[in-house]
Chain A
């Protein structure tokens, strides 16, 4: 009931409010909701802050992290301390998340029945697990997120995205534009160009969307000698 009250309060619109409430009722610093397909992030529904966006972006770039695992395994994924967990789990993701200011990260599957939509990601700027109440609230919020996304999609036209959802969804469009450009530059398929972009971002320790905007703005071109 408290959650329902919170969702109704405040000025934030739909998805943004969802993420704010998710962070609030789970005692987290920030939260985000991502849609995933085929084991990879496909779109971001909402994030509460810069760090949450970076956590999503890092998982998008690297293809690893709590949301990717929560979605892939269909289970809650907890990492109460990214620092002491050492390098065993999500090597690249961990260093970026810690660098951005996250200390504990959690991924909750967003699904209805057997249908996996994506994941709710939660982070805290200090180490420690969720207590029982916070965990229960996180499960509820993941469920609310699934229902909210599908309810918004229910009004969509054929082949389209629901109007309310369309405003909120972020599909990393520039990354795909850049992949199209690189595919022409190198005469390779778009999928391979996407891999090259991600590899470049990884090697230069940058975010894939930053690399992509360099390509789109024509500050960076991929030559066959690269």
Chain B
């Protein structure tokens, strides 16, 4: 039986549906905790949120709401190299680092393919990832579930869930885990947009300021030499070229009073 609960995030056009099922033997999904986790995650996405804090929260909430043993997040650095950003336990952290070092494991596959790698019985994947399977078993884990942190064609990292039971996650828990990963993904992308916007804004402001300073310098040269604005500008540009200076730098020196406006080179015929 499916009772659909849909979250729609219009800004990025992403739709996630979390159904409700109860199948005997499957992991218990705590609906109340899940909703509370989603609200809490959204609540943490303020203008200046910390990515590591939000992903740590995501890992902890996965453990509580989805009833898994451990959760962790791998995120790609701008260089493309994956890093362990958050984990709900030390054992999880060790295992994630181990996956990166040995370059094998379900998290890496989820990240590289952009697809879910779920319901893996670790006892049965010895041939696929021999070193990972052995290490995970040594830490007491029996099943692994990895979810890509992906928006459209871009994959940022992966959310990884481990259980001490070998059984599968039911469809509801899988959908819920993917929903949590999607929200974290959107948060990270939004955060990046804000950082980019701030950089662009400062660049624009600086460019406007140098435009203004050039006008001020033209006014000073014009007054000091009795020339019109056009001639003042050409003299300044000529002087900057002669002395291998940036126009904005020269203008700033003139406007700021360190370079006398009457001291510029004279234009030669043809300049």
Q: Which chain B residues numbered 202 to 231 have a C-beta less than 8 Å away from chain A?
A: 203-213, 215-224, 229
Are B194 and A35 closer than 8 Å at their CB atoms?
no
- Assess whether A12 is interfacial by the CB under 8 Å rule: no
Considering only CB atoms and an 8 Å cut-off, how many residues of chain B contact the other chain? Answer: 36
Are B211 and A184 in contact, with the CB atoms below 8 A? Answer: no
Residue of A nearest to B228 (CB): A216
In the complex, which of the residues B200, B211, B219 contacts A153, with contact meaning CB atoms closer than 8 Å?
B200
Instruction: Say yes or no: B222 contacts A177, CB within 8 Å.
Output: yes
Determine if B137 is an interface residue (Cβ-Cβ < 8 Å). Answer: no
Contact of B208 among A43, A114, A190 (CB under 8 A): A43
Closest chain B residue to A114, Cβ basis:
B47
Please give, as numbers and ranges, the residues of chain B lying within 8 Å of A150 by CB-CB distance: 197, 200-201, 204
Q: Which of A145-193 contact B (CB under 8 A)?
A: 146, 149-150, 153-154, 156, 159-162, 165, 169, 171, 173-174, 176-185, 189-190
| A5 CB–B CB distance under 8 Å | no
| A161, B206: Cα distance in complex, Å | 9
| Chain B residues touching A, majority SS | helix
Whole-angstrom CA separation of A22 from B223 in the bound complex = 41
Residues in A whose Cβ lies below 8 Å from that of B255: 180, 190
**Closest CB-CB distance, B192 to chain A, in whole Å?**
11
Verify if B198 is at the interface (C-beta below 8 Å from A). yes
Given contacts A112-B193, A114-B48, contact A183 B220 (CB under 8 A): yes
Interface residues on A, range: 35 or more
Closest B residue to A185 by CB, please name it. B223
Contact at A159–B220, with CB atoms within 8 Å? no
B193, B194, B215 — most chain A CB neighbours (10 Å)? B215
User: For B222, what are the chain A residues with a Cβ–Cβ distance below 8 Å?
Assistant: 177, 180-181, 216
B221 contacts across to A, CB distance below 8 A: 180
CB distance from B194 to the nearest CB of A (A): 3
Is A42 an interface residue when CB atoms closer than 8 A count as contact? yes
B223 CB contacts on chain A under 8 angstroms = 180-185
Would B215 and A159 count as touching, CB distance under 8 A?
Answer: no
What mask results when residues 246 to 261 of chain B are scored 1 for a CB within 8 Å of chain A, else 0?
1010000001110001
Residues on the B chain within 8 Å of A190, using CB: 216, 220, 255-257
Residues on B with beta carbons closer than 8 Å to the beta carbon of A160: 207
> Would B197 and A112 count as touching, CB distance under 8 A?
yes
A72 CB to closest chain B CB, in angstroms? 16
Q: With A37-B205, A37-B208, A184-B223 known to touch, is A177 a contact of B229 (CB < 8 Å)? A: yes
CB 8 Å contact bits of B170-194 with A (1 = contact, 0 = none): 0000000000000000000000011
Closest to B225 in A: A184
Distance of A189 Cα from B213 Cα, bound (Å):
12
Measured CA separation A156–B213 after assembly (Å):
19
A159/B208 in contact, CB under 8 A: no
How near does chain B come to A34, taking the closest CB pair, in angstroms? 12
A180 touches B220 (CB 8 A): yes
A169 and B212 CA atoms in complex are apart in Å by 12
Interchain Cβ contacts under 8 Å between A and B, 12 examples? A37-B208, A42-B209, A113-B197, A114-B194, A115-B198, A159-B246, A171-B212, A177-B216, A180-B220, A183-B223, A184-B219, A190-B220
